[in-house]
Amino acid sequence: MQRGLPMQPTVVLLKEGTDTSQGKGQLLSNISACLAISETLASTLGPRGMDKLIVNDRGEAQITNDGATILKLLEIVHPAARTLVDIARAQDAEVGDGTTSVVLLAAQLLKEVRNYIEEGVSPHIIMKGFRQAAQLAVKRIEEIQVTIDKSDSEEFRALLIKCASTSMSSKLIHSEKPFFSNMVVDAILCLDQDDLNENLIGVKKVAGGGMQDSLLIRGVAFKKTFTYAGAEQQPKLFKDPLILSLNVELELKAEKDNAEVRIDQVSDYQAIVDAEWEIIYRKLDAIEKTGAKVVLSKLPIGDLATQWFADRDIFCAGRVPASDLQRVVQAVGGSIQSTCSDIRREHLGTCGTFEEKQIGGERYNLFEECSKAKTCTLILRGGAEQFIEEVERSLHDAIMVVKRAVKNGEVVAGGGAVEMGLSAHIRKHAFSIPGKLQLVHMAFAKALEIIPRQICDNAGLDSTDILNKLRMRHANGHIWFGVDVDGPEGVRDNMEAFVWEPSLVKINAINSATEAASLILSVDETVRGPQSENPAAGPSMPPGAAQRALRGRGRGMPRR
């Protein structure tokens, strides 16, 4: 340093304790975190995929092979790796299936270009190449996709069953594919075909029995609500009943809960009690005059009202969950009334059959042959609770796939067939591009092969040998050849074998994986703020103790 020059002051920008890491090392670290996630999910892909048993901090266990569910249960904290969690959730919300595929594809894209990052290739060139290749892939899918003919209803139904079966082939319920595929297609066809709102498919779980004991109710079913004495005297079966849905409480309330009344004589008190009884009897009389034989309410129906209805051969259920009551109204017609006065016929609904029925160890109220049946209910049976929950997740994926097939009507072959076709197409196009973008296109093409490769590895097949066979078939123009985990050849025409998936699932997966990979490549610095300390706890508390101290603060402890 030259004499006479003033020293440059140190500039402090960030709070003490802030952790910063940047540059190429940080980018490679983020890529490694994403690869670690993909290694966890890889073994769940395909018809021979394995399940994961995940135990949370409360000791509750869940068994699943659904990508979005696994990532949610793992509670991943690495900030870059959480991007993959988000794309899996987005894929699940948008199309319902392909969550594992989208995570594997995004991670493989990063793996294929990791060497280029190390050699100093700009991430922006790689991102540009990825986006170009993704556009090529989507355009190619739109060229080769097969449109389902909806004119023949029997043929159309058969095609939907094949789409549902393909979705279930990698799930826990694959042994019962024909049974559940029919159930899923029936459920979708029960809905309003213009809007296909899958939220109108109710799912109820009843432990016990086998999978084949599961039922599809073409209407609404919900568990018997809390009832008072007198409920057993009510009829449990009606043909063509009028149904009244209420948001009214039919119960005598204790005076001390509602109001304070100052009185001078006992007769005044008796007048208040008589008035209360008069009010509830007026409501009950108004309900009986409507002609309704089934009365449902979101709010409680007390013992007085229950016995009163039983004496007049009327069935009632109080405290019906809001979602179930809404589905009842959509199925049987009418509307939810918030008062018992001026109820007319158009406010009531009706159905062909109402029955209270024993299913397993529970009693269920079933509304079938509904006049406006735009909803249905799946009642799932099975042994362990975790097993039934996984059946529910599997059926959700299949329902979403069939919904997309009905709405869009375009399908492609599954089992890695479309990925191999896209890989060959992009690789062929790459030779016409000069410079570094050619390498990026080739990396994208190679990354697409992770799907058929992983299906082979999970099934115990020789992935190198089968991928070579598939490359040869696709080079000869057989665009629908994919992996066959059962046959001796290991490859087959999956379009002829009816291994189908909606093309929207593939388009969404490719776009999402490309965006996620580009997002991770665009990050070159991570700034992690200092851990905030609880001043009450002091600096020496172990990790998590501050949160426990806050949670344990009782009513008598003063706030600081």
Which residues have a catalytic role annotated? 66, 99-100, 397
Measured CA to CA, the distance from residue 20 to residue 12 in angstroms comes to: 13
Alpha-carbon torsion (255, 256, 262, 264), positive or negative: positive
Q: Are strands 201-207 and 376-382 parallel, antiparallel or unpaired?
A: parallel
Which of 291, 296, 206 lies closest to 250, judged by CA? 296
Q: Find all residues with CB under 8 Å of 312, minimum gap 6, and list them.
A: 288
**Which three-class secondary structure state does DSSP give residue 338?**
coil
Measured CA to CA, the distance from residue 447 to residue 385 in angstroms comes to: 38
Measured CA to CA, the distance from residue 387 to residue 151 in angstroms comes to: 38
Measured CA to CA, the distance from residue 181 to residue 130 in angstroms comes to: 36
DSSP calls for 43-76: TT-STTPPPEEEE-TTS-EEEE--HHHHHHHHT-
Q: Cα–Cα distances in Å, from 29 out to 42, 103, 166, 520?
A: 20, 17, 36, 11
Measured CA to CA, the distance from residue 109 to residue 98 in angstroms comes to: 16
Alpha-carbon torsion (69, 73, 76, 82), positive or negative: positive
Measured CA to CA, the distance from residue 196 to residue 374 in angstroms comes to: 9
Ramachandran category for residue 291: left, alpha or beta (phi over 0 → left; psi -120 to 50 → alpha)? left
CB 446 within 8 A of CB 112: yes
Cα-based angle 479, 483, 489 (whole degrees, multiple of 5): 105
- H-run or E-run covering 160: helix 153-168
CB 406 within 8 A of CB 193: yes
> CA dihedral defined by 464, 467, 468, 473, rounded to 10 degrees?
170
Measured CA to CA, the distance from residue 335 to residue 405 in angstroms comes to: 33
Alpha-carbon torsion (70, 75, 77, 82), positive or negative: positive
Q: Find all residues with CB under 8 Å of 37, minimum gap 6, and list them.
A: 71, 76, 81, 84, 85, 103, 107
Q: Are strands 410-413 and 146-147 parallel, antiparallel or unpaired?
A: antiparallel
N- to C-terminal Cα distance for the chain? 51
